[in-house]
């Protein structure tokens, strides 16, 4: 399988700050990759490099076979970009927003109306096509932003935090849309700080911290590698949590704090110990990608 995106040793500096600091990133063709990382990790800068809104100081960037920044126009023509900020033209109808982009992306004149219809359908906005964009709900606007990025049937779609700030039901609608795109073979790179989103949608995730990829893999494999199968959440006052934490670490377990609790990772191996009272009482649950994220980046989720 070819690569939709291949970055090697990419560096982007802003003055003394390395926003991206030797990043390797791969998006195999036809797969959905989640780019996870705390605020300031360099996700948005990476997205900007891929669209050539920013130019790397070092490293190799190949997107859809085009070498950036030299061939960024050719790459851009085959890419759809869903921005984080809603920049729809609110004076235009839903359909006209799509028509403008169909023209911009040079969809042949005779194919434009069909392309617009297809995008409306994909985003289930057909019955809203003639409404002005400013009459849409937040969720519909976000679907229109995605539809707009798809109107020229791109091979690769970049989504920067596609569901940020949306309520849970709307997020689920978008997940369905993203899953459908993925099932049609479109390559997707999606930045997100919603771990559950990455866990559901991504074939593979790249966890970024301080401009680098600190871990790469299929969500289930990363969980097994870094957090084991089971996590024990222990609740109590701060001084007790400190001693529980120190004790678990002394026995080789990674831990994480979550406000009122300490979570001890990888406790499945110690199940028999626990029943012997070696581990404190607590709530056992399945390990998840959030445990991995916090463990590797040292950051809690916003
Ligand atoms: P993320 O999207 O993961 O939150 P960003 O890529 O936005 O991270 O930012 C990475 C780092 O680069 C941050 O420290 C941020 O302040 C800095 N940064 C991003 N864009 C600029 C810019 N245009 N000028 C200076 N610093 C920037």
Ligand 1: residue of 10, 13, 18, 19 to mutate (most ligand atoms within 8 A of CB) is 19
- Ligand 1 within 6 A of 83 CB? no
161 Cα: distance to centroid of ligand 1 (angstroms): 15
What is the three-state SS of 196-254? HHHHHHCCEEEEEECCEEEEEECHHHHHHHHCCCEEEEEECCHHHHHHHHHHHHHCCCC
Residue-wise pLDDT for 99-144, tens only, equals: 999 999 999 999 999 999 999 998 899 999 999 999 999 889 999 9
pLDDT surpasses 60 at 301: no
What Cα–Cα distance (Å) separates residue 219 from each residue in 52, 197, 223, 270, 288?
Answer: 29, 11, 6, 23, 9
What Cα–Cα distance (Å) separates residue 84 from each residue in 14, 63, 134, 164?
Answer: 21, 21, 17, 8
- Ligand 1 within 6 A of 42 CB? yes
Asked if 195 and 290 count as a contact pair (C-beta separation under 8 A), the reply is yes
Ligand 1 closest atom vs CA 38: 3
Q: What domains are defined for the chain? A: 228-286 (3.30.70)
Contacts for 68 with CB less than 8 Å, ≥ 6 apart: 49, 50, 52, 56, 61, 62, 75
Residue-wise pLDDT for 39-82, tens only, equals: 899 999 999 999 999 999 999 999 999 999 999 999 999 999 99
Ligand 1: residue of 12, 13, 22, 42 to mutate (most ligand atoms within 8 A of CB) is 42
Asked if 224 and 31 count as a contact pair (C-beta separation under 8 A), the reply is no
Asked if 32 and 5 count as a contact pair (C-beta separation under 8 A), the reply is no
Residue-wise pLDDT for 7-33, tens only, equals: 999 999 999 999 999 999 999 999 999
Ligand 1 closest atom vs CA 37: 3
């Amino acid at each position: 399988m070819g690569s939709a995106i291949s970055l090697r040793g990419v560096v982007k500096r802003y003055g003394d700050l390395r926003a991206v600091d030797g990043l390797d990133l791969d998006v195999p063709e036809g797969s959905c990759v989640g780019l996870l990382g705390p605020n300031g990790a360099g996700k948005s800068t990476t997205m900007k490099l891929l669209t050539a809104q920013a130019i790397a100081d070092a490293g190799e960037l190949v997107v859809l076979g085009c070498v950036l920044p030299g061939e960024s126009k050719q790459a851009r023509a085959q890419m759809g970009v869903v921005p984080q900020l809603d920049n729809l033209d609110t004076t235009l109808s839903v359909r006209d927003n799509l028509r403008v982009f169909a023209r911009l992306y040079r969809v042949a004149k005779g194919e434009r109306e069909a392309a617009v219809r297809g995008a409306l359908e994909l985003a289930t906005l057909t019955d809203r096509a003639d409404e002005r964009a400013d009459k849409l709900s937040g969720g519909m606007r976000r679907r229109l932003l995605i539809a707009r990025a798809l109107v020229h049937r791109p091979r690769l779609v970049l989504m920067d935090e596609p569901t940020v700030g949306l309520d849970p039901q709307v997020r689920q609608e978008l997940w369905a849309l993203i899953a459908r795109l993925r099932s049609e073979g479109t390559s997707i790179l999606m930045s997100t700080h919603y771990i559950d989103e990455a866990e559901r949608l991504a074939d593979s995730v790249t966890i970024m911290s301080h401009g680098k990829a600190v871990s790469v893999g299929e969500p289930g494999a990363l969980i097994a590698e870094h957090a084991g199968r089971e996590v024990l959440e222990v609740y109590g006052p701060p001084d007790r949590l400190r001693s529980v934490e120190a004790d678990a670490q002394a026995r080789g377990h990674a831990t994480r704090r979550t406000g009122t609790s300490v979570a001890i990772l990888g406790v499945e191996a110690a199940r028999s110990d626990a029943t012997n009272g070696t581990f404190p009482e607590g709530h056992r649950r399945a390990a998840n990608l959030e445990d991995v994220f916090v463990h590797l980046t040292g950051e809690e989720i916003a």
